[in-house]
């Protein structure tokens, strides 16, 4: 039932966005960014005096997701309203090296979480570790694609290949 409600809301939002002009979509994104920041604030306020660490951290994890949402919306807003700035060859090489380091760290995290899953028998604990593991898999795949785009294309323009990759492999489907 919950998935049907979420699907219904996504359909309504999709139809609404399809009927908007570019300026209305830009305003819509700006409002969503504000909403995400309100969610962050509400989540942080709600756990100030909470002593139960699990509840506290789960609520804070939601606020972190909202930070991610706001960040992604900011990136989308930037893509819609500005041109991509030039990045020097030196900065490009530095960025590629930093991303490679991040890829290596994500690979290590994937390996360690996968191993941890073989030792945990409690299903509740497994759910949390599986969620983190799946996030790490998505992070790793996205970083590899970004690295490939930077190294091969020597540009940070997000082309159709990158959008397709994001839609197929990174952004969860409902």
pLDDT tens figures, 68-124: 999 989 988 888 888 766 677 788 888 889 999 999 999 999 999 999 999 999 999
Same domain, 60 and 37: yes
Residue 4: domain span: 1-82
CA-derived radius of gyration, the chain: 19
Q: Give the separation between CA 140 and CA 163, rounded to whole angstroms.
A: 16
pTM equals 0.66
Same domain, 110 and 123: yes
Helical spans, DSSP H, in the chain: 2-18, 22-46, 53-81, 89-119, 123-148, 160-165
pLDDT at 147: 87
Q: How many domains does the chain have?
A: 2
Q: Give the separation between CA 13 and CA 21, rounded to whole angstroms.
A: 14
Same domain, 100 and 76: no
- Say which residue the tokens 């899953």 belong to: 117
Same domain, 53 and 117: no
Query: Minimum mean pLDDT among 81-90, 102-111, 139-148, 163-172: which range?
Result: 163-172
């Amino acid at each position: 039932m919950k998935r049907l409600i979420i699907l219904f809301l996504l359909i309504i939002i999709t139809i609404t966005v399809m009927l908007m002009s570019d300026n209305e979509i830009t305003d819509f994104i700006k409002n969503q960014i504000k909403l995400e920041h309100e969610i962050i604030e509400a989540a942080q306020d709600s756990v100030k005096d909470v002593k139960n660490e699990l509840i506290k951290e789960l609520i804070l994890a939601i606020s972190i997701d909202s930070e991610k949402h706001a960040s992604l919306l900011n990136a989308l807003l930037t893509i819609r309203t500005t041109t991509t700035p030039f990045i020097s060859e030196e900065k490009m090489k530095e960025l590629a090296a930093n991303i490679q380091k991040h890829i290596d760290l994500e690979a290590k995290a994937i390996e360690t979480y996968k191993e941890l899953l073989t030792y945990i028998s409690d299903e509740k604990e497994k759910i949390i570790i599986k969620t983190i593991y799946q996030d790490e898999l998505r992070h790793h795949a996205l970083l590899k694609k970004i690295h490939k785009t930077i190294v091969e294309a020597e540009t940070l323009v997000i082309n159709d290949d990158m959008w397709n990759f994001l839609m197929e492999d990174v952004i969860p489907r409902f």
